[in-house]
Amino acid sequence: MKESTDYIIENIRRTLDNDLPGTDEFVDMIISAPRIFIYGVGRSGLIAKAFAIRLVQMGLEVYFVGETITPIVEEGHLVVIVSHTGDTMSCVQTANIVRRVGARVASITSNDNSKLAAASNLVIRIKPKMDEERKRLAPLGTLFEDATLVYLDSIVAQMMEKLGRSEGSMRKRHAIWV
């Protein structure tokens, strides 16, 4: 376990060592959008949902695409799509559909030459190093997914500052079990 943990943490550190291009624009897109829609499938979708929860806790109007209570995307809305390959068909289709209605698309992907990237207004590229050790210590998309979770959690502080939020104000929107 320790070998894998060290490998994953070191790769996340290297992947996110510098500010990723487009981050300031991404944050501004989020905080200025009247509604934010989040989408992803598989483990990328789970990472996207974790981010959606934080945005809700900041008081933003957020929905996950595909849920039964999600309203329609309209002009001026923001759709954030997380896809490791950038070629997941439902992600590409979602981006193309919402762009046609005038929504903006921000994608997080490892492939800035993908179909998803081509359909996006903004691409945040998270591209961990791919080596032979990855197959043994962090299989499949683990490095992308973990680095994306850390990246999205790290920009929460920037959004909190711009929106004047505190942990206390977010806690008021935190799930409470009765």
pLDDT value, residue 176: 67
Q: Is residue 59 part of a domain?
A: yes
Q: Is residue 58 part of a domain?
A: yes
Q: Is residue 111 part of a domain?
A: yes
pLDDT value, residue 7: 82
Distance (Å, whole) CA 76 – CA 160: 22
Q: Is residue 141 part of a domain?
A: yes
State which residues form the domain around 88. 2-171
Q: Is residue 149 part of a domain?
A: yes
Residues marked as catalytic = 145
Q: Report the candidate in 21, 36, 52 with the shortest Cα–Cα distance to residue 103.
A: 36
Q: Is residue 55 part of a domain?
A: yes
pLDDT value, residue 178: 47
pLDDT tens, per residue, the chain with 178 residues = 898 888 889 899 999 988 899 999 999 999 999 999 999 999 999 999 999 999 999 999 999 999 999 999 999 999 999 999 999 999 999 999 999 999 999 999 999 999 999 999 999 999 988 887 787 777 788 899 999 999 999 999 999 999 988 787 777 777 765 4
CATH number of residue 82's parent domain = 3.40.50.10490
Name the pTM for this structure.
Answer: 0.92
Task: Look at the chain and report how many structural domains it folds into.
Answer: 1
Q: Is residue 177 part of a domain?
A: no
Q: Is residue 146 part of a domain?
A: yes
Give the full edge-to-edge strand order of the sheet including 122-125: 62-64, 36-39, 78-82, 104-109, 122-125
52, 68, 80, 116, 143 from 71: Cα distances, Å: 15, 9, 15, 22, 32
Beta-ladder partners of 105 = 79
Q: How far is CA 150 from the centre of its chain?
A: 10
